[in-house]
Amino acid sequence: MLVKTTEFITSATRPSHYPPGEMPEVAFAGRSNVGKSSLINVLLNRKNLVRTSSTPGRTQLINFFGVNGAFMLVDLPGYGFAKVPLAVKKQWGPMMETYLSSRENLRVVVLILDIRRVPTAEDRQMLEWLRAYSVPPLLVVTKCDKVSKNERARQAALIARTLEVEKEELHFFSALSKEGKDAIWVAIERLLSAPETA
């Protein structure tokens, strides 16, 4: 994918504030601090399109970006950060389910997982919603530079088993080495150009 232009479109919490769904859309989801912003910035060749921060969990908005004037990239709010107020936490599920069930131009959700961690209940919930609403998931396992080859294989098996998916469905990535960048773009492009299924 040759990224020529990226522009911030808007932030929203509910459908009446979403931008028009005229272009195919790819959304990114994952636990706070999993490396979601880092992945997006590497994919878009940007230093800081979406802010990477050491105080995770504050973003509770759905952020829409236009890429090449051809498709929409959506940064979904991170989940699972302990310090987020309960009231904010309670909004996450309905906000996600509303977006996933109503966004007709949504073609793929990139679900990001940490190679060193067991997927959480919220990761599994995301995957269940994607299945329920027929949105194809793209599973990206990030921070792969932090583990050895042996550990990677062991953790991949554990992650696949916990999510009840095949190991082959996992895309390995590192924001440091940029490993996996091209393969992830190929998979995203394929799904963005796929005919609507739902």
Ligand X SMILES: Nc1nc2c(ncn2[C@@H]2O[C@H](COP(=O)(O)OP(=O)(O)O)[C@@H](O)[C@H]2O)c(=O)[nH]1
Per CB under 6 A, residues contacting ligand X are: 30, 32-38, 52-53, 56, 78, 142-143, 145-146, 174-176
Based on CB atoms, which residue is closest to ligand X, 45 or 102? 45
Smallest gap from Cβ 71 to ligand X, in A, equals 20
Find the shortest distance in angstroms from Cβ 11 to ligand X: 15
Whole-angstrom distance, CA of residue 70 vs CA of residue 5: 10
Tell me whether residue 51 or residue 190 sits nearer to ligand X (CB atom): 51
The one of ligand X, Mg ion, none whose footprint includes residue 155, by CB under 5 to 8 A per kind, is none
Q: What is the largest CA-CA distance in the chain?
A: 48
Q: Are 109 and 138 in contact (CB under 8 A)?
A: yes
* Residue from 26, 30, 34, 37 binding Mg ion (CB under 5 A): 37
**What is the separation, in whole angstroms, between the first and last Cα of the chain?**
25
Select 78 or 119, whichever has its Cβ closest to ligand X.
78
Burial of 39 (0-12, 13-18, 19+ CB in 10 A): buried
Verify binding: residue 38, Mg ion, rule CB under 5 A: no
Q: How far is the CB of 25 from ligand X (least distance, A)?
A: 19
Q: Which tokens go with 116?
A: 């060193």
- Dist. CA 119–CA 110, nearest whole Å: 15
Residue nearest to ligand X (CB): 35
We find the least distance from the C-beta atom of residue 132 to ligand X, in angstroms, to be: 24
Name the region of 178 (left: φ>0; alpha: ψ -120 to 50; beta: rest): left
User: In the complex with ligand X, which residue's Cβ is closer, 23 or 116?
Assistant: 116
Q: CA 36 to CA 143: how far, in whole Å?
A: 11
